Amino acid sequence: MIAGLPAVSVNSLAFALLAFGMILLAWSGGRQLFMAALGATGVVMILSWMSPLDVAALALFIVPPYVVARYLWGKKNAPALALLSATVIWEVLLFVYLRKYEWVGEASYLDHPVSIIGLSYILFRILHLVVEAPNLGHLPFNSLRFTAYIFAFWTLLSGPIQRYEAFSSGMDGIGRPSDENALAAGHRAVNGLIKAFLIAPIFLIASDLSALGEDGATWLDLAIVVYAFPIYLYLNFSGYTDVVIAVARLCGMTTLPENFNRPYMARNIQDFWGRWHMSFGDWIRHYIFVPLSKMLLEKTTPGWHGLMLAISVIVAFVIIGAWHGTTSNFVVFGLLHGAAIIVGEIYGRALKSVLGRKKKKAFERHPVVQGTAMFLCFNYVAATAVLFPNSIADITTTLGQFLTAQGWL
């Protein structure tokens, strides 16, 4: 929308300039302007992507929750359930509509950018803010802080999802980091750029499923296709996260949460979701799984608790799947991961009843068991991640052709 300015993505010159500008501002005497500048840079990024109609749609998404949050700010005893529920429903419905989920049809009068400039991350921040507004009265809140929090350029496109408390305390620390910390952050930013934009694309190209249909494709090629995409996903996403966390740290903001903790070393799917996209996992746990399971457990007798927990897991993972993409593939992805957690839980309980708590722990600590668990978990994640870039029809067709060529069908 800004004439001549190309869309600002993390690997663009414009993003680098925004980052350098904000770092220099944080280091200079003008740091009192930092909050306003943070909001302004986010707005510049948004305007670089969007048409006026998209901006109008975004305003519908942003303004009502701001008004509600402002009204509820610090009012712990206000009767706000109806207002909160209406706001959450409005936001979720508008989100589903703007993101063009396949089951709601096309919002054809809108250009696409409104759905891809991190709308889902904005949604998380907004819901968090509205739901927690009554409890956050001890923190300052106004339109400038709201804009800076929602549109902060470092988390605008792909997170991590920062809580308002962490944002506020991080803003208090804006300034120049120590030389040591600045160098470490610079190092991390460069590493992130290399991971996300130099190495990751190699694996993206290699993950092309249709290439399995080529003459001469072997099991090695199948392995490359299956493993290449999760490797790409990790390098790209964690590289991006490294860049934004490093930029924030160079500005003195040290409270951006980490998103990854060696996820492919996880020993089961539950462990995996504690290491992969951690700020997202925390949000889902805090705002979906815990309240839902608490409500279901309270309303049922202990004999049903196992089933209620399983339902809570499935609901949480359907939401996780749907959040990742707009097609039914992603729901299937979520269901498969939810199912794996339930199976893992049943297996854990069975193991415990057979071996007892102490022997179970010792068994799970055995290096061979740990290695096997990691191998199985990674392969399960890799196999389910095939659903990300490919439709189920494409997967079945291509795999059918491949297995026929190998003489298996």
The least distance separating other proteins from the CB of residue 207, rounded to whole angstroms, comes to: 8
Q: Which is nearer to other proteins, 102 or 214 (CB)?
A: 214
Considering only 16-24, 98-106, 292-300, 391-399, which stretch makes contact with other proteins by CB under 8 A?
16-24
Q: Is the distance from CB of 351 to CB of 268 less than 8 angstroms?
A: no
Regarding 30 and contact with other proteins (CB under 8 A), the answer is no
Regarding 395 and contact with other proteins (CB under 8 A), the answer is: no
Binding of other proteins by 182 (CB under 8 A): yes
Q: Using CB under 8 A, which of the segments 73-81, 201-209, 264-272, 318-326 binds other proteins? A: 201-209
Part of the chain binding other proteins (CB under 8 A), chosen from 62-70, 145-153, 179-187, 349-357: 179-187
Among 17, 63, 290, 383, binds other proteins (CB under 8 A): 17
Residue 106 as a binder of other proteins (CB under 8 A): the answer is no
| Alpha-carbon gap, residue 349 to 336, rounded angstroms | 20
Q: Whole-angstrom distance between the N-terminal and C-terminal Cα of the chain?
A: 53
In the chain, the largest separation of any two C-alpha atoms, in whole Å, equals 71
Please name which of 95, 87, 14, 11 lies closest in space to residue 57, comparing C-alpha atoms.
95
Q: Which stretch binds other proteins (CB under 8 A): 147-155, 214-222, 253-261, 364-372?
A: 214-222
Chain position carrying tokens 């930013």: 189
Q: Kindly tell me which residue out of 1, 7, 14, 373 binds other proteins, with binding defined by CB under 8 A.
A: 14
When asked if residue 23 is in the footprint of other proteins (CB under 8 A), the reply is yes
Of 224 and 331, CB closest to other proteins: 224
What's the CA gap between 144 and 35, in Å, rounded? Answer: 7
Is there binding between residue 21 and other proteins (CB under 8 A)? yes
Instruction: Give the nearer residue to other proteins in terms of CB position, either 69 or 243.
Output: 243
Q: State how far the alpha carbon of 108 is from the alpha carbons of 4, 95, 100, 104, 182, in Å.
A: 25, 15, 9, 12, 46
Helix spans in 163-304 (H): 164-172, 179-193, 200-206, 219-250, 269-273, 278-284, 290-298
Tokens of 199: 């190495």
For 30, counting Cβ atoms within 10 Å of its Cβ (0-12 exposed, 13-18 middle, 19+ buried), the class is exposed
- Helix axis angle for 357-365 and 328-355, nearest 10°, is 120
Q: Is 199 among the residues that bind other proteins (CB under 8 A)?
A: yes
Q: Which is nearer to other proteins, 4 or 105 (CB)?
A: 4
Give the three-state DSSP class for 256: coil
Is residue 29 a contact point for other proteins (CB under 8 A)? no
Tell me the closest approach of the beta carbon of residue 27 to other proteins, in angstroms.
7
Q: What is the CA radius of gyration of the chain?
A: 23
By rule CB under 8 A, what count of residues binds other proteins? 37
Chain residues in the site for other proteins (CB under 8 A)? 4-6, 13-14, 16-17, 20-21, 23-24, 27, 176, 179, 182-183, 198-199, 201-203, 205-208, 211-212, 214-217, 220-222, 224-225, 228
